[in-house]
Amino acid sequence: MNPSTEIYRLRELMPATGRMLVKISSQPQQAKVLETPFPLPWKSGTRPIYINFDLWQRLSTPQRDLLLLRSVSWVLGIQWFKADWQRGVALAGIVGSLFELSQGDAVGVLVAGGLSAIALRQIWRSNRSAKTEIDADEAAIKVAQRRGYSAVEAAEALLETLESVAKLEGRSNLNFTELIRAQNLRAIANLSPVGVPEQIRRN
């Protein structure tokens, strides 16, 4: 497989936002098939996706397509800056810390800084939750439908990808989040009548 040709094909597969923000690079030495670093708030600009093409070529084309679309959907779904109460509290805490620091109030700085830390931790956790992972799967399936896949075909390919990637990476079992994702994908693919409970989706 020629990495340059495959990268071009994958760029064409991505939604327009992905083509603007995501950069795909070859990383032959990595143990993972595909790696997407968690986008941190102070790192603006492009969001990298690294692919080991020696492992990548062992997946079928639908599996590669869905894995890429899923990774792009996940990385684009991470939002540090949007209007909600958690980000409002974090911003208020940061502003409060700066104000108290300028006033020389050590207790005020500690209180405001603690408030910011708690809010930022909640934002971090929500960005790495099972809900975020499921949302990325479902967003990828929607994009795949615009690329000629049916929802069932896309869900089946993504489900197969979970298991194939684990084997290629030398893992004998799926982790907890992957098992939740697999159950949701089985429901979308009409392979199981049982979906993911709403409580897990909200956490």
Query: pLDDT tens, 83-128?
Result: 445 445 555 555 555 555 566 656 565 655 665 565 556 655 666 6
Same domain, 60 and 146: yes
30 & 109 share domain: no
Instruction: Give dist(CA 67, CA 61) in Å, integer.
Output: 10
Residues 112 and 135 both lie in one domain? no
Average pLDDT, the chain: 83
- Is the Cβ–Cβ distance between 150 and 83 less than 8 Å? no
In this prediction, residues 4-27 reach a mean pLDDT of 95
Confidence of residue 9 (pLDDT cuts 50, 70, 90): very high
SS3 content of the chain, % helix, strand, coil (to 5): 65, 5, 30
- Residues 172, 101 within the same domain: no
Measure the CA–CA gap between 173 and 166, rounded to whole angstroms.
7
Residues 117, 136 share a domain: no
Q: What percent of the chain has pLDDT over 90?
A: 58
Give the count of domains, the chain: 2
Q: Residues 67, 137: one domain?
A: yes
The pLDDT tens digits for 24-82 are: 999 999 999 999 988 776 666 789 999 999 999 999 999 999 999 999 999 988 766 55
Residues 35 and 61 occupy one common structural domain: yes
Q: Which domain holds residue 35?
A: 3-79+128-202
* 41 and 109 within one domain: no
**The two three-digit tokens of residue 163, written as one number:** 């298991």
**CA neighbor of 164 nearest in space, from 179, 154, 174:** 174
d(CA 103, CA 153): 61
Does 134 lie in the same domain as 68? Answer: yes
Same domain, 140 and 175: yes
